[in-house]
Amino acid sequence: MRKSIYALCVLWCSLNSFNSRADHPRELVIDPNAKNRLLVVGVPGGLPGIDKDLKMVTEIGTHPAYQFIPTQLWSSQGTVSNVSQNLTRLASETEELGTLFFYFSGHGSGGRIALRDRSMRITEIRAALEKGREALGPMARLVLMFDSCYSGSLLDPVRKVLGPIHEQAESEAFADAVFQEIQSEDRDSAYWKSLFVFASSRANETSNAGSSGSSFTVALKKAFGEVINTQGTLNDWVSKTKVFTKGHHPVERFSPLDVANEKLIP
């Protein structure tokens, strides 16, 4: 009898847990009603169309299904100090079920993005995010997108050590390495529960900018519209963006892997 009651209790708890999770849609954001934050940074440095990139990504982020509250840093505002402070602030404002989305467009180099005053390493981005979450625990989702030359190198800090590797394997190597760079050494104190990283180009490629916007971000916006219409997944969004991007090869990573199968918008 006791075993039967115990079994019923376990079943009830399991169903209750499932229903609780079902209350929160899983898409680009975990919960559209949480305090979701978007930081878009554009530092043109002579590149055309960077303002268009920020406009397109802000339009994606402010879709009613997501309810991101956007913050924009443009040109002279895009210093290392400003980016760090805003990442920390927005990370601290993101609720437990919330999503933080960071997007950068501008120049890039090996393992860095070029801000107004100096270059910023991916480890500095991680440190700013960790600082914002240190008293709060992990946020539900972190989304990082980089539209810059050699942005794939942000996902491959050990490229110089490894040397040239087969082109087909490059994206996987870049994507695996990014987690080592942005996660805490102690996973018990991690500052995110799920992650989506998307970079416009491999570590050995330049990223094409134009007066109408950069090739990757124009493709990202076009793919977004098409995948919404077909009720597709995040992986569909990535795949279409890759098809539409001309002149270079975007690379991505999802953690855990099943994030790729979630709907872009339910």
**Residue with structure tokens 């991505």?**
252
Fold of 26-261: Rossmann fold (3.40.50)
pTM score, whole prediction: 0.82
pLDDT tier for residue 232 given thresholds of 50, 70 and 90: very high
pLDDT tens profile 8-24:
343 333 333 333 333 44
Sign of the Cα pseudo-torsion (78, 79, 83, 88, in order)? negative
pLDDT tier for residue 218 given thresholds of 50, 70 and 90: very high
pLDDT tens profile 136-191:
999 999 999 999 876 655 554 433 433 443 333 344 444 455 556 776 555 555 79
3-state SS, residue 2: helix
User: Closest by alpha carbon to 102, among 116, 112, 88?
Assistant: 88
Distance CA 154, CA 150 (A): 8
> For position 148, what pLDDT does the model report?
85
Number of residues that this document lists for the chain: 266
Q: Look up residue 4 and give its amino acid.
A: S
Contacts with 77 (C-beta within 8 Å, 6 or more apart), sequence order: 116
> For position 161, what pLDDT does the model report?
37
- What are the strands, taking DSSP E only, across the chain? 37-43, 69-74, 99-106, 108-109, 112-114, 119-121, 139-147, 192-199, 251-255
pLDDT tens profile 35-72:
999 999 999 988 899 999 999 999 999 999 998 999 99
pLDDT tier for residue 205 given thresholds of 50, 70 and 90: confident
Contact between 41 and 104 under an 8 Å Cβ cutoff? The reply is yes
Could you tell me if residue 51 is left (phi over 0), alpha (psi between -120 and 50 degrees) or otherwise beta? alpha
**DSSP, res 157:** T
**DSSP, res 13:** H
Strand partners, 233: 263
Listed by start position, the domains of the chain span 26-261
pLDDT tens profile 67-123:
899 999 999 999 999 999 999 999 999 999 999 999 999 988 766 788 999 999 888
